[in-house]
Amino acid sequence: MDSILVTGNGPLSGQIPIAGAKNACLTLMPATLLSKEPLTLTNAPRLSDIKTMTALLQSLGAEVSALQDGQVIAMSSHSLTSHVADYDIVRKMRASNLVLGPLLARFGQAVVSLPGGCAIGARPMDLHVEGLEALGAEIELKDGYLHAKAPGGLKGAVHEMRFASVGATENIVMAATLAKGTTVLKNAAREPEIVDLVECLRKMGAQISGEGSSTIEIQGVDRLHGATHQVVTDRIELGTYMLAPAICGGEVELLGGRMRLVESFAAKLDAAGVSVAETDKGLKVTRKNGRVSSVDVVTEPFPGFPTDLQAQMMALMCTAEGTSVLEERIFENRFMHAPELVRMGANIEVHGGTATVTGVERLKGAPVMATDLRASVSLILAGLAAEGETVVSRVYHLDRGYEHVVRKLEGVGAKIERIKGQ
């Protein structure tokens, strides 16, 4: 099993290109199931999760091809052969559940395994089910599979979600594009990935308004057509690499970054003593003077502080001046990186959904183990600023969400290498 060796090497300088958003691309790919005509995505990230979604769509009979070194994904669902999303594929990745709404909308039936992915909480499907049932679906859980049907087709409805779930919003919006009549989805998630999905669906002929707000209105149409769409910049990769110069010092420009994607995160960095400025090419990040200052963080749905940047922010707070409190309100079990940071000399106390971090002057390199996708990169960030060598094991998690992480960090002066397993 591969590992990554990181050696603390001082300030960073240069540019890092930011890829297309993993979470957006994984949402856009199932949209091909809504139409018989081709859907082409550009600026696609080259990640193992994208390969998993490709395998899932192909298992349903869709044609999926990766072009231009994987940055273009060409898809066609003109002749699907199955409406069953099998456990062997779905268990690998949470986003696999996003085939449920499109299959149900186009074919009136779907059988989808309960999903897997990172071990950061149960993340149940109840919000997805409630929304689709509001549109007239009949859904039953049997033997670990959701059996869904809509014999008379889906029908528009007014539905208010109990929580602004991103995945449930995406599933319901896709399903509603082919429902009869108008759907009004209240307490909808507002993430940029949802705005990106709606923009793509609109290119395919969907009639949708209100994306980016808490109320989305969808007027159902009889059919959708093909389209070409560019995947939005990955705000989580962007935020992750913004933290590299914040932790190590120096100045790094993130190519393709936009402030609108990370406003609440950038505000926290500013309060900690890190400058973030928009340029013609992206965002330039510079640590102002000396040690950063501690700041408190509460994870919230967009436009609040992203849960997917909590682990990375904790790595920064480990060497901040003062004490910070990080409260996780989105997922349970999302402080599994804390004990690994403690192995590197961090002072962290975890009580339920709250972590208290008292900054130390310097971390020390140590062998550590990645427990999930974002935890893995938080340990790499910590290793960049630690004395000596840090070896991060179980980095297969990393491949799910970050392309060419070693190459990108090497390009700005980091001392980092990937060690092939036996």
Q: Considering its fold, how many domains does the chain have in total? A: 2
Contacts of 47 (CB under 8 A, 6+ apart): 22, 399, 400, 401, 402, 403
Q: Is 23 annotated as a binding residue?
A: yes
Q: Is 118 a catalytic site residue?
A: yes
Same domain, 226 and 82: yes
Ramachandran angles phi, psi of 366, nearest 5°: -160, 160
| Pair (79, 178) in one structural domain | yes
The model's pLDDT over 227-238, given as tens digits with 9 standing for 90+, comes to 999 999 999 999
Please tell me whether residues 8 and 88 are part of one structural domain. no
Torsion on CA atoms 309, 311, 314, 316, rounded to nearest 10: -60
By three-state DSSP, how is residue 284 classified?
strand
Q: How many C-beta atoms lie closer than 10 Å to residue 213's C-beta?
A: 11
Give the domain extent around 240: 3-19+233-419
CB within 8 Å of 411: residues ≥ 6 apart: 14, 15, 16
Q: What is the pLDDT of residue 422?
A: 66
Q: Beta-strand (E) ranges in 257-359? A: 274-278, 282-287, 297-298, 323-327, 347-351, 354-358
Regarding whether 9 and 36 lie in a shared domain, the answer is: no
Count CA within 13 A, CB hemisphere, residue 78: 9
Calpha distance 309→236 (Å, rounded): 7
Asked whether residue 127 is marked as a ligand-binding residue, the answer is yes
Q: Does residue 374 have a known ligand-binding role?
A: no
Q: Measured between alpha carbons, how far is 77 from 80 in angstroms, rounded to an integer?
A: 6
Is the omega angle on the peptide bond into residue 301 within 30 degrees of 0, that is, cis?
no
Buried b (16+ CB within 10 A) or exposed e, 101-127: bbbbbbebbbbbbebbbbebeebebeb
How is residue 203 written in tokens? 């290119």
Reading the block at residue 400, the tokens are: 């799910």
pLDDT digits 0-9 by tens, 126-154 = 999 999 999 999 999 888 889 999 988 99
One-character DSSP codes across 103-160: HHHHHSEEEEEPP--SSS----SHHHHHHHHHTT-EEEEETTEEEEE-TT--B--EEE
Annotated active-site residue in 118, 200, 248, 318: 118
Q: What is the CATH number of the domain that holds 272?
A: 3.65.10.10
Question: Has 420 been labeled as part of a binding site?
Answer: no
Q: Are residues 184 and 221 in the same domain?
A: yes
CA angle 74–80–83, rounded 5-degree value:
120
Which of these, 216, 184, 182, 186, lies nearest to 199 by C-alpha position?
216
Is 39 found in the same domain as 157? yes
Contact 403, 240 (CB under 8 A): no
Compute the CA torsion angle 394, 398, 404, 409 (nearest 10 deg).
-90
Two structure tokens written together for 32: 């091909």
Asked if 116 and 249 sit in the same domain, the reply is no
Tally of CB atoms within 10 A around 152 = 9
Question: Are 12 and 128 contained in the same domain?
Answer: no
Q: Does 107 lie in the same domain as 7?
A: no
Name the domain boundary from 167, 200, 230: 230
Question: Both 219 and 109 in a single domain?
Answer: yes
Of 230, 260, 277, the domain-final residue = 230
Mean pLDDT, consecutive 10-residue segments, the chain of 422 residues?
93 97 96 98 94 96 96 96 90 86 96 64 76 96 91 96 94 98 98 97 98 98 98 97 96 97 97 97 92 96 94 97 95 87 97 96 95 90 96 90 94 96 74
Q: What is the CA radius of gyration of the chain?
A: 21
- Is 197 annotated to bind ligand? no
Here the tokens at position 342 are 């403690």
Predicted local confidence at residue 114, as pLDDT: 83
Say yes or no: 205 and 308 in one domain: no
Looking at residue 46, what is its pLDDT? 94
C-alpha–C-alpha distance, residues 342 and 346, integer Å:
4
Domain stop point among 207, 230, 253 = 230
Measured at the alpha carbon of residue 96, what is the angle toward residues 94 and 97, in degrees to the nearest 5?
A: 85
C-alpha angle 91/92/96, rounded to 5°? Answer: 75
Q: Is 9 annotated as a binding residue?
A: no
Q: Are residues 279 and 168 in the same domain?
A: no
